[in-house]
Chains A and B, each alone.
Chain A
Amino acid sequence: MLYAVISGFVAAAFLPLMHRFLGERATLVAALVPLGLTAWFATFLSRVVSGEVLVFQTRWVPEIHLELAFRLDGLALLFALLISGIGALVILYTFAYLRGNAHQHRFVLATLMFMASMLGVVLSDNLILLFVFWELTSFTSYLLIGFDHEQEESRKAALQALLVTGLGGLFLLGGLLLLGQAAGTFSLTEIILAGGALAGHADYPVILGLILVGAFSKSAQTPFHFWLPNAMQAPTPASAYLHSSTMVKAGVYLLARLSPVLGGTETWAWWLTGVGVLTLLTGALMASAQVYLKRLLAYTTVAALGFMVMLLGIGSASAVQAAVVFLMAHACYKASLFLIAGIITHETGETDVRRLGGLVRFMPVAGACAIVAALSLAGLPLSFGFVAKELVYASVLDRYMVFVPAVLASLLFVLVAFQVGIKPFLFGSRQSSGTPHEAPPAMLLGPIVLGLACLAGGFFPHAFAGALAASAAAAIQGGPVSNFNLEAWHGVSPEFVASAVTLVLGGAAVFAAGSWVRFGNAMKPLAEFGPDRAYFATLKGLNLLAVWQTRVLQSGSLRRYVAMIVLAMVGLFVLSVLRSGELPVLKRNTPLTPSVLILGLLIMLGAVGSTIATSRISAVAALGVVGFSVSLIYVLHGAPDLAMTQLVVEALGAVLLVSAFLHLPSFHDRKRWVGRFQDAVVAIMGGLAMTVMTLMANDVELAPSIAHYFAETSVLLGHGRNIVNVILVDFRALDTMGEITVLAIAGASALALLKLRIPGKRRS
């Protein structure tokens, strides 16, 4: 299972190499990975459907409860099949869609990585692992949305999606950590076994709140919905894959997965149903004003996601079953419609539905697929969408607060189905020049397969999806698999009447499409005040803050920098002393030997001398006295290593200072007494703090001292008699590694600064 999840990453790593040898055909090879995964996951079908839950475990970092644990049950398998299956179709589609694009392999690479991350999300059995994959999907989707990175709009949209889902991810992390602590384990299987016990935990509202923010932001629920339509800047295969069938459903997946743990409470039901309905209405309202293919689809996706969240919020057996079937149906027809929208744009160069029409003559196969998918979206009988919608209606019939919005959204689906799937092919006339052609086979394969799935789900829903849907619903409810019956035709039931009414009203709306658009346009000023605006205002504010604090802190004056560092150190020290409430007392007193006394006097003389020196050279010389005296003290106390290093550093430091002097302004500029007074205050404060700190450090008794351990084991384990060096390069090598890394970074940055020749302002 581990190999299955990482196979996508491995394949992605080898893709650039394959691209070099095979060119664009590397994409076809890459498509084999999701294809193989689909077949492999399919082999688990019979076992999972019979109620088995497969858990695969590999130890990773047990210290932080991080295990490579994967869990395959009905819900996970359903998602895994969708992700790998649609992944294969999308990669094949990309082969033709991005033909001739020099960066095609980059796109496929990101798609593969995304697929692997998404598989990780739905298969993880460990909360932290799940979060890691969750974040990976955000990152890979950033790459996919920003694929046309030379266009500002793409970059903006990619960043927006990353920031919104990334912010949600932070909330999610907090929620998952609290959840793991409350449950006492990070294993999903164990948490689910404990069931709804957590609902009574004191932290339950916080956990639920944090996780909901994470899930809502990922699944584009109001008020986070705005990133999804903007993300339509992505190339169409990415939109079809991420923004209709998989990534946006990660939030829905998480809610479904945690349903048996967090669900079933009043809070859960209210929030999910409320936000779901709100999203449903927002999506429907916003879609009405759209005329561009992909944006129309994006807003219906927002509405559809609202549907699923709402159904999970209701949480009854029938609602959960409806959610699962709706999810399957939606993945089939929405991905298909996105792919077809891509075909239309690819072949005609047109994205505005008002200018499209009569295309079926030019592209009959694509047209047929489009009509099948559109009928499914509209929910006409004998389509998968119809089966799903009947289930949805049946589960919400008795709740009119939910039922009315559901009908409204379905109405909108009929309208959009007409505009995207039917009108461009059957009605009206084309208003652009050129003769469009049928799309190449690689691009048609996806819509054909998905179209067949729509039909199969419509005619034989039970054989096609019944068993898997039942086991997925069982996983969401945390109970045993209870088979429910999916039928293509229920007879004339209340939900059928509702369906029929929806279709009739939808049909009417199609004829009144013009006024719909007018209504939407009238609503547009309202959208100006949407969360999109808040997002940009926040970004602008952050930038202003950054500019302001840079101006304050990075004044460019070296004296100011040094003063700030010293003052910060003093402040932290004083703060920590105040907090501990313990004033430093001299507990141990080391008697002064005459030699140390003399050296101490020398050091003081040097220090004072450096402050009253009249030239820089004499200041350096005075500092040298300090340095050499200090190294002599090291010698006296038996630290030859330190002394030696100090000596060389002193010598090199003097050279460094002297060579730097040549480039400094004249020394006498700095002799104004106000400045010198400030310097003196800072210096005295820093010196005092350092003195007290040293004395305190001397008092601290580290119990029991490890000095003996090092002394005893230095030769035995470290093969060295110089304990200092053995500690540096062996016992505490990781510390030294960190130090030399810092040193290297400092060196490289100094080099960069010195070589950077910005024409500077001359001092007047």
Chain B
Amino acid sequence: MGSLILRKATRYLFPVIMMFSIYLLLRGHNEPGGGFVGGLAAASAFILNQLAFDVRSTKRLMNVDSLTLIGVGLMMALGSSVFSMLYGQAYFSSHWVTIRITPEWQLPIGTPLIFDIGVYLVVLGVTLAILLSISNFRKPSS
């Protein structure tokens, strides 16, 4: 697909969608969003890039293999349970730390965020793994 308009638009859209996906991920705890939809949004950014350019440049843009993303994501999600195990609580009990920025502006941060980032990475990795390899698929020549 050699559309100049699409290419030009993608250059600007890609970072916006990526930022939006991270926004979705982070705000997910209080507003609609979360790791799952965030991961999908990020995947759609890469897919847009692939439609506008090609698979190779998209892979360069990703910089890591999608399988690595999946693995890291799974490990992060699983790793967020380590705290609950260390404290001898029920598996996957959450732990929170409150960061005081100003007295009325406090930010609680907890293990569910790590877990959600893990979900985000797995969803992104799986979607890209399937979509990119299908686009890149060539019929075996025989």
Q: A728-B36, A744-B126 are in contact. Are A652 and B131 (CB under 8 A)?
A: yes
CB distance from A72 to the nearest CB of B (A): 29
Question: In the bound complex, do residue A730 and residue B74 qualify as a contact, i.e. CB atoms below 8 Å apart?
Answer: no
State the interface size on chain A (CB cutoff 8 A): 45
Which of A660, A737, A746, A751 makes the CB contact (< 8 A) with B78? A737
For residue A20, CB closer than 8 A to chain B, the reply is no
Chain B residues with CB under 8 Å of A728's CB are 34-36, 119
For residue B103, CB closer than 8 A to chain A, the reply is no
Nearest A residue to B65 by beta-carbon distance?
Answer: A751
For residue A591, CB closer than 8 A to chain B, the reply is no
Which of A719, A726, A747, A751 makes the CB contact (< 8 A) with B108? A719
A75 to B134, CA, bound (A): 64
A747 to B69, CA, bound (A): 11
Question: In the bound complex, do residue B40 and residue A652 qualify as a contact, i.e. CB atoms below 8 Å apart?
Answer: yes
Nearest B residue to A747 by beta-carbon distance?
Answer: B126
Q: Which of A721, A728, A740 has the most CB of B within 10 A?
A: A740
Q: A655-B51, A722-B31 are in contact. Are A758 and B140 (CB under 8 A)?
A: yes
A644 to B35, CA, bound (A): 12
CB distance from A400 to the nearest CB of B (A): 63
Q: Which of A659, A720, A750, A760 has the most CB of B within 10 A?
A: A659
Question: In the bound complex, do residue A726 and residue B29 qualify as a contact, i.e. CB atoms below 8 Å apart?
Answer: yes
Q: Which of A648, A717, A720 has the most CB of B within 10 A?
A: A648
Within B42-88, the residues touching A (CB, 8 Å) are: 43-44, 47, 51, 66-67, 70-71, 73-74, 77-78, 80-81
A403 to B121, CA, bound (A): 73
Nearest A residue to B130 by beta-carbon distance?
Answer: A750
Q: A730-B94, A750-B129 are in contact. Are A722 and B77 (CB under 8 A)?
A: no
Chain B residues with CB under 8 Å of A699's CB are none
For residue A318, CB closer than 8 A to chain B, the reply is no
A762 to B140, CA, bound (A): 10
CB distance from A739 to the nearest CB of B (A): 9
Question: In the bound complex, do residue B96 and residue A644 qualify as a contact, i.e. CB atoms below 8 Å apart?
Answer: no
Q: A644-B32, A721-B30 are in contact. Are A743 and B137 (CB under 8 A)?
A: no
For residue B122, CB closer than 8 A to chain A, the reply is yes
Chain B residues with CB under 8 Å of A737's CB are 77-78, 81, 92, 115
For residue A729, CB closer than 8 A to chain B, the reply is yes
Within B117-142, the residues touching A (CB, 8 Å) are: 118-119, 122-123, 125-127, 129-131, 133-135, 137, 139-142
For residue B91, CB closer than 8 A to chain A, the reply is yes
CB distance from B83 to the nearest CB of A (A): 12
CB distance from B137 to the nearest CB of A (A): 5
Question: In the bound complex, do residue A748 and residue B40 qualify as a contact, i.e. CB atoms below 8 Å apart?
Answer: no
Chain B residues with CB under 8 Å of A759's CB are 140-142
Chain B residues with CB under 8 Å of A651's CB are 44
Q: A729-B116, A747-B125 are in contact. Are A655 and B30 (CB under 8 A)?
A: no
Question: In the bound complex, do residue B67 and residue A748 qualify as a contact, i.e. CB atoms below 8 Å apart?
Answer: yes
Q: Which of A733, A757, A758 has the most CB of B within 10 A?
A: A733
The number of inter-chain residue pairs (CB within 8 angstroms) is 148
Which of B28, B112, B142 makes the CB contact (< 8 A) with A733? B112
State the interface size on chain B (CB cutoff 8 A): 55
Nearest A residue to B51 by beta-carbon distance?
Answer: A655
A733 to B29, CA, bound (A): 13
Question: In the bound complex, do residue B32 and residue A641 qualify as a contact, i.e. CB atoms below 8 Å apart?
Answer: yes
For residue B110, CB closer than 8 A to chain A, the reply is yes
Question: In the bound complex, do residue A652 and residue B127 qualify as a contact, i.e. CB atoms below 8 Å apart?
Answer: yes
Which of B37, B66, B70, B129 makes the CB contact (< 8 A) with A644? B37
A722 to B28, CA, bound (A): 7
For residue B22, CB closer than 8 A to chain A, the reply is no
Question: In the bound complex, do residue A649 and residue B40 qualify as a contact, i.e. CB atoms below 8 Å apart?
Answer: yes
Which of A655, A659, A719 makes the CB contact (< 8 A) with B96? A719
For residue A707, CB closer than 8 A to chain B, the reply is no
Chain A residues with CB under 8 Å of B71's CB are 744
Question: In the bound complex, do residue B94 and residue A762 qualify as a contact, i.e. CB atoms below 8 Å apart?
Answer: no
Q: A733-B92, A746-B126, A750-B133 are in contact. Are A718 and B77 (CB under 8 A)?
A: no
A663 to B140, CA, bound (A): 11
Question: In the bound complex, do residue B129 and residue A748 qualify as a contact, i.e. CB atoms below 8 Å apart?
Answer: yes
Which of A652, A722, A736 makes the CB contact (< 8 A) with B29? A722
A660 to B78, CA, bound (A): 33
A640 to B133, CA, bound (A): 31
A652 to B21, CA, bound (A): 15
Q: A652-B47, A730-B112, A757-B140 are in contact. Are A744 and B122 (CB under 8 A)?
A: yes
Q: A655-B131, A663-B139, A722-B29 are in contact. Are A740 and B77 (CB under 8 A)?
A: yes
A262 to B81, CA, bound (A): 45
Q: A660-B134, A737-B92, A750-B129 are in contact. Are A743 and B122 (CB under 8 A)?
A: yes
Since A740-B119, A744-B74 are in contact, a sample of 16 more A-B pairs with Cβ atoms closer than 8 Å, ordered by chain A residue number, is A645-B37, A652-B47, A656-B131, A725-B33, A725-B116, A726-B112, A730-B112, A734-B91, A734-B92, A737-B77, A737-B81, A740-B74, A744-B70, A746-B126, A751-B129, A754-B134
Shortest Cβ-Cβ A-B pairs, 9 listed: A747-B126, A720-B29, A759-B142, A640-B32, A733-B92, A648-B40, A729-B112, A754-B133, A721-B30
Q: Enumerate 29 A-B pairs (CB-CB under 8 Å) in ascending A order.
A: A640-B32, A641-B33, A644-B24, A645-B37, A718-B29, A719-B108, A720-B29, A720-B112, A722-B28, A722-B29, A725-B33, A725-B34, A726-B29, A728-B34, A728-B35, A729-B112, A729-B113, A729-B119, A733-B80, A733-B115, A737-B115, A740-B74, A741-B74, A744-B74, A747-B70, A747-B125, A750-B133, A757-B140, A760-B142
